[in-house]
Amino acid sequence: MGVRRGALIVLEGVDRAGKTTQCKRLVQALRDSGKEAEMMRFPDRTTMIGQLISSYLEKKSNLEDHTVHLLFSANRWEQVPLMKKKLEQGISLVVDRYAFSGVAFTSAKPGFSLEWCQNPDVGLPKPDLVMFLQVNPAEVAGRGGFGDERYETSVFQRAVQQKFEQLIKDPSVNWKVIDAARSIEDVHTEIKTLSENAINIAENQPIGELWK
C-alpha cells in the first residue's frame, strides 16, 4: 500500500466571514489529532504573479479586468505541482480562498459571465470539501470595518455573495454551507467534523479535476 493521500479542503466566504481564523484553527486541530496538515492561501502574494496581484489589490497599480482575472488563476496554477506533491505525500491542505473566490469576484463586475470566469480554472485540483462560511453583512458589522483594499466595499461584497450563491448550486462540487455567525468555537467544531470525514473519504480516491 502506498501513502494515503491528503485531502484538499477549501474555506470560502465574503470578507470578514472568518476564513483565515478558521483555517488556522483547523490546521492546528488536525495536527493535534495526529494528522498532517498545512495551510495555504490564495492569492499567494509571495510569488512574482502574486506581487502583481498584491499591488493591484492595494491600488498601487491598475490592471485591466480580464488580465487581473487571469493573473489570479495563474497564481493558483503555479502552486498546482506543489499542491499535488503534498497531497500525494499524505498532507491535507487547508486553503483560504480558491477558484470560487476568483470567479465570484470577477463575475461580480459588469460584463463577465460565470462561465468565462470559470474557464481558466477548469482542471485545477478539485477540493474534496468546500465550506462556505455564510454570514450576512449586518452580522459581521461588529467584526471591524472594511480595509482600504480594492473590493472592500459593502456594495461589491453583496454582489460577490450573490455570485457565490450561484456557484454553490453546482452539484459537481462538494459544498457545505456553514452558519458562520456563531461563535468561533462553534463554527470550528462543525468545520473540524466535516474535515475529518472528508479526509477519511479522500484517502482512497484519486485527486479530481475541478469543473471538468
Give contact residues for ligand ATP (rule: CB under 6 A): 13, 15-21, 143-144, 183-184, 187
149-to-16, 64, 69, 193 alpha-carbon distances in Å: 13, 17, 16, 34
Count Cβ atoms below 10 Å from residue 85 Cβ, excluding itself.
Answer: 10
Q: Which is nearer to ligand ATP, 109 or 182 (CB)?
A: 182
Please report how close the Cβ of residue 208 comes to ligand ATP at its closest, in angstroms.
Answer: 25
- The partner in contact with residue 16, picked from Mg ion, ligand ATP, none with C-beta cut-offs of 5 to 8 angstroms by kind, is ligand ATP
- Our CB check for Mg ion shows the closer of 10 and 202 to be 10
Residue with cell 466595499: 153
CB of 91 to ligand ATP, least distance (A): 22
What is the rounded CA–CA span in Å between residue 40 and residue 172?
23
- Binding stretches for Mg ion (CB under 5 A): 20
Take residue 44 and report the three cell numbers written for it: 499567494
Q: Closest separation between CB of residue 81 and ligand ATP, Å?
A: 26
> Which listed option, ligand ATP, Mg ion, none, makes contact with residue 17 (CB within 5 to 8 Å by class)?
ligand ATP
- Out of ligand ATP, Mg ion, none, which partner does residue 6 contact, by CB within 5 to 8 A per kind? none
- Judged by beta carbon, residue 186 or residue 209, the one nearer ligand ATP is 186
Cell of 98: 480558491
Which residue has the closest beta carbon to Mg ion?
20
Distant-in-sequence contacts of 42-49, Cβ < 8 A, 24+ apart: 42/72, 42/75, 42/76, 42/79, 42/95, 42/96, 42/97, 42/98, 42/101, 42/102, 43/72, 43/75, 43/97, 44/75, 44/78, 44/79, 47/75, 47/78, 49/74, 49/75, 49/78
CB of 12 to ligand ATP, least distance (A): 9
User: Given the complex with ligand ATP, which of 21 and 73 has the nearer CB atom?
Assistant: 21
Residue 210's binding partner among ligand ATP, Mg ion, none (Cβ under 5 to 8 angstroms by kind) is none
